[in-house]
Structure 1
């Protein structure tokens, strides 16, 4: 990206770069893909750089960049089907058998993960950081995809970024009445699909749970692993349509079709406002290769849900900025 942001002197323009992270978060929520978000921010920066000399300052630079980013996202969303998570496609869980892997969809069909460090502010008001964290939860991002694109813009700018209605109306070349109506419809749709963000603070008990989770996974002690899950815990594994609907089924899967994960290397990280575990699976020659990023939802002291984004095309880790080489043992930053 930096090559397109250099002015005539060859120096980077910090006025644009200082907004990159928050714009990436905005575009990610809009598009449901960290990779599409990167492309959208790249295009936003290109357009802004080309037009910076004509920027008249009638609005703030930040607002101007959001207008450009919004137009880029709306262009990208034109004619696209919404991204989803496997549990969105079927109300019925699948059997923990290898035949369940028969149904698979391309990457473009799924909501994709994003690392917290790519989209969340490093500092600032704790309340604002909490809102930002909840607004990149997988369930919320998946629910956003149910909204028409312009309603998505309105809801994000009003409820997540706390813009005033008149500011949103100006960005969309619309009216305050139209913005308020769109916001009301968007909130109703989110409530209907269960997409209201809910704060889940990570406390000391959660950190102890994560330590036990990593230990059980590393030792492949599935009895101990299953005890860390709610009985009705769920797991899904994009790009496959299948999802598992109980702790018992998850344990059966790990001892059956998923048994190749024994002796994996693990690293704790944070993705989508949640704890996450990067996994490198062993190979026949004794090495390890990137395999999955597991995003965990914790509730009442146990794991409620596991979303396992599989790196079947050998590019997920690299594109997210995770190490391709496996750490020695369990890595806890």
Structure 2
């Protein structure tokens, strides 16, 4: 019974850090599924090696050291995940072609609840949400893995340079140098800013309600009024992306006209508003899953609509039904 009680206590102590570790691994890897795999691997390694843990650092620091090594091993192949706009220029709607790329190409969405730990400080909450945005995580992918780890630990999680040096088995000078290089790289590909949406204010709530009404009624004039002139529209796993409300509406009225009559259901992803998009069923008895839409809001209008089409992966992850 004593051994069982000790095991249950260890399991409970490890589980306390699962959400924040998943957020860390997601920022490192850009994949919700790989992040969960990395955290599970971290927990197994910690459980097996716990008797060797000498308590010279906190359990949290020890877990982050293990998680960092797991992520660095996973990133050793050199692959970095991206958004369509990281790979090519925008395509005019008249030249649009749908070409798929392998799953491992794409930055993946993640449910807020899987990666956002509960913290009391509103400023910390704001940083957490800001740094899981698709645009921010995509920018992180431009960094070499160790620089990525340093920047996340120092800038996002607010670790001291000495703590990061101990975790990585290096010097404070090396950590500071890596952080400077990481900042310089990010400055060259700085992610566009978006409005804070936690919680949604009355104006943002009204904007999203108008978006749902315009989309469900397929009112392209109303939709255009909600979009920034340079709004972006993407559809992974297709590498096509469009920019500007004229091309977006042109797509919606052309190939995208199959979306007419759809329904949207609110959810959240990457600290941003999101919708489960359902198409009318072929048999006319309801609606079937079509995409997960992640919405970027800037200065009171919609700046981006990212449509993730692999609903067999995304809807179960977000606890969304496949049919309405």
Shorter-chain TM-score tier? over 0.9
Paired position in structure 2 for 1:301: 300
* C-alpha distance in structure 1 between counterparts of 2:124 and 2:214, whole Å: 35
* C-alpha distance in structure 2 between counterparts of 1:88 and 1:325, whole Å: 30
Deviation at 1:107, TM superposition (A): 1.1
Q: How does 1:1-333 map to 2 (within 5 A)?
A: 8=4, 11=8, 13-91=11-89, 93-96=90-93, 100-101=97-98, 103-195=99-191, 200-201=196-197, 202-286=200-284, 287-311=286-310, 314-318=312-316, 320-327=317-324
Q: SS state of the match for residue 304, structure 2?
A: strand
* C-alpha distance in structure 1 between counterparts of 2:299 and 2:74, whole Å: 39
Q: SS state of the match for residue 14, structure 2?
A: helix
**How large is the Cα RMSD of the aligned pairs?**
1.8
Aligned CA distance change for structure 1 residues 302 and 197 (closer, same or farther; 3 Å): closer
* 1:76-101 per-position Cα deviation (integer Å, ceiling 9, x unaligned): 0011321111111113x213358511
* C-alpha distance in structure 2 between counterparts of 1:199 and 1:227, whole Å: 18
* C-alpha distance in structure 2 between counterparts of 1:218 and 1:99, whole Å: 24
* 1:188-229 per-position Cα deviation (integer Å, ceiling 9, x unaligned): 000001137666344221111011111111222222112111
CA contact (8 A) 2:194 2:298 kept: no
Question: 243-252 or 173-182, which moves further after superposition?
Answer: 243-252
Q: SS state of the match for residue 97, structure 2?
A: helix
Aligned CA distance change for structure 1 residues 33 and 156 (closer, same or farther; 3 Å): same
Deviation at 1:256, TM superposition (A): 1.4
Q: SS state of the match for residue 315, structure 2?
A: helix
Q: SS state of the match for residue 47, structure 1?
A: helix
Aligned CA distance change for structure 1 residues 113 and 147 (closer, same or farther; 3 Å): same
The runs of 5 or more residues in structure 2 that have no matched partner are none
Aligned length: 317
Between Structure 1 and Structure 2, which shows a larger proportion of helix residues? 2
TM-score (norm 1): 0.90
* C-alpha distance in structure 2 between counterparts of 1:301 and 1:153, whole Å: 33
CA contact (8 A) 1:261 1:281 kept: yes
* C-alpha distance in structure 2 between counterparts of 1:133 and 1:89, whole Å: 25
CA contact (8 A) 2:96 2:240 kept: no
* C-alpha distance in structure 1 between counterparts of 2:73 and 2:320, whole Å: 32
* C-alpha distance in structure 2 between counterparts of 1:198 and 1:161, whole Å: 21
TM-score (norm 2): 0.93
Deviation at 1:290, TM superposition (A): 1.7
CA contact (8 A) 1:86 1:238 kept: yes
